[in-house]
Amino acid sequence: MRRSNDQIETDTLLRDSAREFAREQEAAQRPASSSDAGSWQAYVDAGWPGMALGEDSGGIGADLDQCCLVLREAGRALLPQSVTADILIAPRLAQHSPEIAALMPELLAGTARFALVLPDESGIREAADGRIEGRSQLVPGGDQATHLLIPTGTGEATRLYLAASDATGVSVRPGRLMDGRGAARFEMSGIEPDQLTLLASGESARAIADELEALAICGLLSEGLGAFEAAFEMTVDYVQIRQQFKQPLASFQAVEHIIADVYCELEKARSLHMAMAGALETPGPFDAGAVARARLCLARTVLPATGRLIQISGGIALTEDYKLGRIYRRLQADAALFGGARRATDIIAGAAS
């Protein structure tokens, strides 16, 4: 997607600012816990939540590419906060829903945080009396959400609701991903209609819900790409410094071949990420296949390539203190979320049939 000179200059300034902030957060060595309220206030002060909102609404008017740049820096530094819902999802939904738009001042102040509650295999159902029942997938950052976005049904029967995370009938099951990030499952044992706000219904709700799910995946993949970039760069530095037989590892042909192969995989991941962002930025129905291909790349390309970087880094890469091993665990978690490679394959196969 072609960028103007002004956009490129703005992108560079935003990336540099986000990288500096992310490095400060990483260097602070906060506990790997998304329950750190002080840490979240730092994100708010940096202007990350709601950055996609227009300047008249308190944001900076960042487009999707710029939001993804910030998320890549978050992934590069392995920040423990899950910020996609507050950077991408809530501001995009505010364009469709006045109820969500009314909550944007709270988002900007850091007192409102959102979670997209996607159903697990058993689904989320709306009973005849209007109550909602079901169980969600694991939601990164869900343990800190104050507001839940809950899609129910399929096709013309789809409805999109807003509910407070402490609403009667909602049970929050907090936990941790394997890389230490906070997450939660939501069990809904009959949320009463008076606890729900209907945001959209019918085909419109289905289109919005699909778009929000795609944005959730986009945020996840942006952070994953940033982590992969960091893994590649630190490994290149390592093999240039580390010596065997009085020669740097980078001088060995086998290591050179692995580095070259992984660089090709990195460029592939960047290209697919760019195509995904372009599909989601284009007005009208988006290309679900572009999102699925980028997600499949994470599981089938990025994760194995990171494993090869661990291979040439030796035993140090398996230690708890070395960042490369932590990057690998994060990418493993990312590859499994939101249905993982299997759902991406199903989407691609469905588009081809």
Beta carbons of 317 and 324 less than 8 angstroms apart:
yes
The answer as to CATH 2.40.110.10 being correct for domain 114-202 is yes
CA distance 216 to 274: 16
**pLDDT for 194-243, tens place per residue?**
999 999 999 999 999 999 999 999 999 999 999 999 999 999 999 988 87
Count how many Cα atoms sit within 13 Å of the Cα of residue 286 in the half-sphere of its side chain: 24
Beta carbons of 121 and 152 less than 8 angstroms apart:
no
- The β-bridge partners of 134 are 124, 188
For residue 88, what is the DSSP state?
Answer: I
Is 114-202's fold the same as 204-352's? no
Place of tokens 């230690």: 319
Please, what is the average pLDDT of the chain?
91
Torsion angle (degrees, nearest 10) of CA 113, 115, 116, 117: -140
SS3 assignment for 212-265: HHHHHHHHHHHHHHHHHHHHHHHHHHHHHHCEECCEEHHHCHHHHHHHHHHHHH
pLDDT at site 352: 53
**pLDDT for 29-55, tens place per residue?**
654 444 455 689 999 999 999 999 999
Q: Give residues with Cβ within 8 angstroms of 105, minimum separation 6.
A: 58
Beta carbons of 279 and 286 less than 8 angstroms apart:
yes
**pLDDT for 252-271, tens place per residue?**
889 999 999 999 999 999 99
Phi, psi of 190 (to 5 degrees): 100, 65
Angle at CA of residue 238, ends 236 and 241, nearest 5°: 110
CA distance 242 to 322: 15
Strand, coil or helix: 97: coil
**pLDDT for 87-146, tens place per residue?**
999 999 999 999 999 999 999 999 999 999 999 888 898 888 889 999 999 999 999 999
Beta carbons of 342 and 283 less than 8 angstroms apart:
no
**pLDDT for 287-332, tens place per residue?**
899 999 999 999 999 999 999 999 999 878 788 788 999 999 999 9
Domain ranges of the chain: 5-83, 114-202, 204-352
pLDDT at site 353: 47
pLDDT at site 29: 63
Percent of the chain with pLDDT over 70: 95
CA distance 118 to 323: 31
- The β-bridge partners of 182 are 176
Count how many Cα atoms sit within 13 Å of the Cα of residue 118 in the half-sphere of its side chain: 20
Q: What is the pTM of this model?
A: 0.92
Number of residues in the chain: 353
Q: What CATH homologous superfamily does 204-352 map to?
A: Butyryl-CoA Dehydrogenase, subunit A, domain 3 (1.20.140.10)
Amino acid code (one letter) for 131: R
CB-CB neighbours of 144 under 10 Å: 23
Q: Band the pLDDT of 16: cuts 50, 70, 90.
A: very high
